[in-house]
Amino acid sequence: MVIDGKKIAEGILTKIKEKKTKKFFAAFLIGENPASVSFLKQKEKIAKALNIDFRVYKLEEDITQDRLRKEILKITNHKTCGGVIVQLPLPSHVNAQYVMNVIPREKDVDVLGERALGAFYAGRNFILPPAVGVVEEILKNQNLILSEKKVGVVGLGNLVGKPIATWLKGKVSDLYLLDKGGDYSLIKNADIVILGTGQPHLVSQGMLKEKVLVIDFGYGKKQMANDEWQLVGDFNSEKLKIENCELKIDFTPTPGGTGPILVAKLFENFFILVEKQER
């Protein structure tokens, strides 16, 4: 079964659509990375539908780290600023963590600054990192009980794998953590496989067991036979015949899977933080 991320996202957005706030949502774009521009346009579209004042601050690609921190802090300190995101990736000369650390925990929608991350790892942050929220939402949608499941996480980056792995510890029957180049044969034992390497078609159905759930955060480009480029995930679903495949596999497609839910969770986080501030 293909898991419809757009439908799940619509459910989240419907729940928060009635919420109102006069505070604005700040987003920083450094340079003109086409993918970053595209992602921000998607977020702007959702913000408009939710009647949120979404402000994009565009800064030059060669901006210094210290000046970037000052610009972010200047906007963040506004009393009417409810939440902040910095669109990644940042230019190579910028230390992303150094920049993210300037965002106050109570306005850190992405949970990327050290204060918010530290609170999350201690189990006491106001919100979950968006990728963790996506996993929680999909598991809820699939009516799965985590304590009975063996879970494999492939790719242990700061945005996806690492926070998800932290959240899963103590909640599952067995947990397999694999970074790029690990022993992928281990995921044959997993009931749930979470992918976040960004390596197109890294995992195929032959590497998985029967009745597995694949949650794919991978996002990369693959060149097709006609020299066109196609957006694909870490999971190779092209050979699956959905109605009659050898293995019963539920999976999130790319695009249209985890991406829409991730954006919806971002705005859900924004409203949770705003409500905390207003109380």
Q: Rounded distance, CA 236 to CA 122, Å? A: 35
Which CATH number characterizes residue 63's domain? 3.40.50.10860
Q: Is residue 118 part of a domain?
A: no
The pLDDT assigned to 224 comes to 64
Give residue for tokens 């971002």: 266
What DSSP designation does 110 have? Answer: T
What DSSP designation does 235 have? Answer: B
Closest CA to 46 of 72, 76, 14, 75: 14
Q: Which of 74, 107, 140 marks a domain boundary?
A: 107
Beta-carbon contacts of residue 93 (< 8 Å; ≥ 6 apart) = 62, 65
The pLDDT assigned to 241 comes to 52
pLDDT digits (tens, 9 = 90+) for 229-273: 778 999 998 766 544 555 579 999 999 999 999 999 999 999 999
Q: Is residue 120 part of a domain?
A: no
Same domain, 83 and 186: no
Q: Is residue 181 part of a domain?
A: yes
What pTM did the predictor assign?
0.93
Same domain, 139 and 225: yes
Separate counts of helices (H) and strands (E) for the chain: 8, 10
Q: Is residue 16 part of a domain?
A: no
What's the whole-number average pLDDT of the chain? 93
Q: Rounded distance, CA 51 to CA 16, Å? A: 11
Question: For residue 242, which amino acid is it?
Answer: I
Please, what is the Cα angle at 234 between 232 and 188, to 5 degrees?
A: 145
Q: Are 47 and 75 in contact (CB under 8 A)?
A: no
Residue range of the domain that includes 146: 130-259
Which CATH number characterizes residue 138's domain? 3.40.50.720
Intra-chain end-to-end CA distance of the chain, in Å: 42
Question: For residue 236, which amino acid is it?
Answer: N
pLDDT digits (tens, 9 = 90+) for 178-205: 998 889 999 999 999 999 999 999 999 9
Mean pLDDT of all residues in 139-145: 93
Total number of domains in the chain: 2
Query: Radius of gyration over alpha carbons of the chain, in Å?
Result: 19
Q: Is residue 230 part of a domain?
A: yes
